[in-house]
Structure formats: structure tokens, C-alpha cells
Amino acid sequence: MTPEIASLDITSPRFKANPYPLYAHLREKNPVCPTRLPDGRIAWLVTRYEDAAVVLKDPRFAKDRRRVPQQHRSLIERSLEPMLRSLQYNMLFLDPPDHTRLRGLVHKAFTPRLIERMRQRMQDVADELLDDAIIVGASEFDLVSGYALPIPATVMADVLGVPASDRDRFHHWSSVMVSITSGPELLRALPSALMFMRYLRRLFVLRRADPRDDLTTALVQTEEAGDHLSADELLSMVFLLLVAGHETTVNLIASGTLALLEHPDQLLRLRHQPELLSSGSAVEELLRFTSPIQVATERYATVDVALSGTTIPSGALVLAVVGSANRDERQFPDPDTLDLGRTPNPHLAFGQGAHYCLGAPLARLEGQIAFTTLLGRLSSLQLAIPPNNLPWRRSLFLRGIDHLPLTIKATPARVAA
């Protein structure tokens, strides 16, 4: 018996504002649920922790949709594919052995030394952004545009050797790309994608002529060393790192701050116990509680697979709902409670298995520094608008706010220093 196709729009801003009651209902009543996406495709939502972990790790669920050629694609998507094919040659959309090879090449360049080298840069950026707000005596402050976005955008630009002056363009391009939920939106996103690709190709030419101590130079040199990183793979990989490297961290900082404001007991706890940040416990709980990536990127069932008593048919598009899995009462005691000291905390915010997020250490460090600096520099944070008026972004995979207006007050001792 085929389950009834649910009528859900999991991409809408209204749903993103509070998806958790529906997630709880699905986990209890329909944990493996087919639904129709805005582009017309049928996707199977997997909402329980144990099942989501299987989807993320089990090789029966492929990342490369070329392994399931019967997948539905809209006419617009098929028409634009030749122009965008270069963006698909990255480790996010591939399975072993191609994924293993590409991840290994990036891992060689994306070293712990490089990440640790960025620590002081992150701190300087965070302080400079708050200095700008404090010096002008701002009483209102948009945390997204004034803080949550510039930190990861600047850091990733530095890591890749891209001028920080270009970060606004990058954010615009990537925001357009990650907001695609249907064929018409893909058509509207085409100019951004083409401009992004053209910019990156020019950057590669510059780095070949003028090598720097950055990740782009390392990847360009890897290509030229004969390690089989093709021109399309290079383009797609840097594109992926730029988009994934800052979009998710923006949401962690902004949604994490909102969660603290909505749970003043935990905000006060964090001020009194800053070691919860230095130990990493607070960032891990904010990752679990807010799940910046609400839905893991596409998997495709290569065979019939049974999960929680429901059979997902071969060829089906499968979406592990990380935001639901991270609130699963079967895995986490009191899952809807924000507990900054929660341990253990085996959340799925960075995925699992072969596709576990390569940039997780960088994101954790950015979150730690961003929250520590924000609470250290500002003695008072309050929402400047009612929570119901917050502008949530339309997206299939991410959950984030466009703007987070705050009323702020600086910490006098830190201003004097």
C-alpha cells in the first residue's frame, strides 16, 4: 500500500517560523512521509533520528542522482542543466569513489593549521563589527547584516583568498542559489549562478599567476599537480565552499541568538558560566536546537528500503529532516528544552557518515567566538520587534532569518578598554 502524499510546503517562511509541532506529529504518526515539493517532485521525508541517521550513512541512499535516471526533473531544470553542469562536480553530489577522491583533495588543503590560523581573524572581525555599532551609539542593531553575516563571509573569503570587499556579492549570489525550490526560481537564479562562475574562473587565473597562502591557491596547485581535479571540479568545489561555508554559520549565529533571547534563563546561565562556550557545550546545543540545516541535501534510494515500517521505493528522492531528528524524544531527553549543558549531544547538524561536514571545526570555532564576543561586549540584548514579525527565509534545506533587529546596550568596561 502506497502512503498518501502529504500536502506540506516545508519551504515556506510561515512553516520555517515554527516547524517543530509538525515534525513532532510526523515522528509520531507518519515518520516516513511522501510529500510534493514546489517543483513537483515527490520527496520522502524521514523525521526520526534513527531513520535519518540511516539515510545519511547507508550506501543504499545515493547522492549522485545519475544512479537513478528515472528521477523527475522539470523542463526548466533540464534546459538549464548544460549551463550549470560545472557546479555539479563537487563532493556534495557524488558517491564513492569520486566523493572520496575529491574530499581527500580538499582535506589536504583544508588543514587544522589553516583553521586555527583564522582564530584571531575571527576575533578581530567580531570586535570590529561591534565597535562599529557601539562607537556610533546605536541602540538598534540588525544582528544578521551587522554581525552574523560578515563574520563567516569574511572568514571564508580570507580562507579562499577572495577580497573581503566582494563578500556582499557572494552573499547575494549564494542566497539566491540556496533559496531555489522550483523551476521558475532556478530560472531567476541563473544570472547569479553565471556571475558567480565567471568571477571564480577569473580568480583561478589570478591565483595561477600570483599564488597566495590560501585554499584557492592550494586547490589550483592540486589541479596542476595532476591529482585529477578537473577545471569543472575546481569551480564546483570552490563554489560549494563559499556557499556552504557561510550560509549555515550565518543561521547558527542568528538563530542561536534568537534562541537565547527566547530562553532568558539560558542566556543568563551563559553569562554566568562562560565556560559552556569555551568547552563547546553551548554551541553544540544551539546547533541541535536550531538546526541551521533543517533538511539534509538530497539522497536517492537505489533499492527498496524499509524504515519504520514503511518501504521507500527504489529511485525515490529522500530527505532526512535533520531539524526533526535533532528534536526526537527517542534520542534526546526533553528535546524541546534548550539546555546549554546538555551531554551527551549526538546531534546530526553536521550530518553523519562519508558526507559529514568538512567545515564543522571552522563553524564551531566561528560560533564560539561570535557568541562569546557578543555576550562579552553587550550587556543587554532584546528583540526590537515582536517574534511573530521576524522575516524567515524561503528555503528547502536551510532555516534562517533575513533580519534580526535588536536593541542593545554596550558593556561599559569593555567600551572603556
Determine, yes or no, domain membership for 284: yes
Least confident piece of the model among 112-121, 184-193, 227-236, 296-305:
184-193
Query: In this structure, is residue 6 part of a structural domain?
Result: no
pLDDT digits (tens, 9 = 90+) for 195-236: 888 888 888 898 989 998 888 888 888 755 556 667 888 888
How many CB atoms within 10 Å of residue 211?
A: 14
Q: What percent of the chain has pLDDT over 90?
A: 51
**Enclosing domain of residue 324:** 13-416
Residue range 390-404: mean pLDDT, rounded: 93
Radius of gyration of the chain (CA): 21
User: In this structure, is residue 271 part of a structural domain?
Assistant: yes
- Residue 2 covered by a domain: no
User: Residue 119 corresponds to which cell in the numbers above?
Assistant: 582564530
- Give CA–CA dist 380/411, Å, rounded: 8
Residue 198 falls inside a structural domain: yes
| Mean pLDDT of the region 307-326 | 96
**Residue 245: predicted pLDDT:** 72
Q: How confident is the model at residue 1 (pLDDT cuts 50, 70, 90)?
A: very low
3-state secondary structure of 7: coil
First to last CA, the chain: 69
> Alpha-carbon distance 302 to 364, whole Å?
34
pLDDT over 60 (residue 343) = yes
CA distance 208 to 123: 30
Q: Within a domain: residue 5?
A: no
Mean pLDDT, the chain, rounded, equals 85
In-domain check, residue 3: no
Name which residue leads in pLDDT, 355 or 266.
Answer: 266
Q: What is the pLDDT of residues 277-316, one digit of tens each?
A: 999 999 999 999 999 999 999 999 999 999 999 999 999 9
Mean pLDDT along residues 383-397: 93
**Distance (Å, whole) CA 14 – CA 303:** 35
Q: Residue 28: which residues within 8 A CB-CB, separation 6 or more?
A: none
| pLDDT at position 226 | 58
Phi-psi region of 325 (alpha: psi -120 to 50; beta: other; left: phi over 0): alpha
**Residues paired with residue 383 on neighbouring β-strands, in sequence order:** 406
What pLDDT, in 10s, does the model give residues 127-136? Answer: 999 998 887 6
Domain count, the chain: 1
* pLDDT higher than threshold 60 for residue 180: no
Strand partners, 310: 307
C-alpha to C-alpha distances, 98 to 137, 171, 172, 219, nearest whole angstrom: 53, 29, 30, 16
- Closest listed residue to residue 408, CA positions, set 142, 149, 148, 145: 142
Q: Comparing 42-51, 118-127, 161-170, 325-334, which segment has the lowest mean pLDDT?
A: 161-170
Residue carrying the nine cell digits 538546526: 291
Which CATH number do you get for residue 282?
Answer: 1.10.630.10
Q: Is 212 left (phi over 0), alpha (psi -120 to 50) or beta?
A: beta
Phi, psi (rounded to 5 degrees) for 319: -120, 115
Q: In what order do the strands lie in the sheet with 299-301?
A: 32-36, 42-46, 317-320, 299-301, 61-62
Phi, psi (5° rounding) for residue 359?
A: -90, 15
How many alpha carbons lie under 13 Å from residue 169 in its C-beta half-sphere?
Answer: 16
Q: Please check whether residue 398 is in contact with residue 14, taking contact to mean a CB–CB distance below 8 angstroms.
A: no
Between CA 232 and CA 250 the distance in angstroms is 27
How many CA atoms, within 13 angstroms, populate the side-chain half-sphere of residue 353? Answer: 18
Average pLDDT over residues 84-106: 75
Q: Does position 323 have pLDDT exceeding 90, yes or no?
A: yes
Residue 77 belongs to some domain of the structure: yes
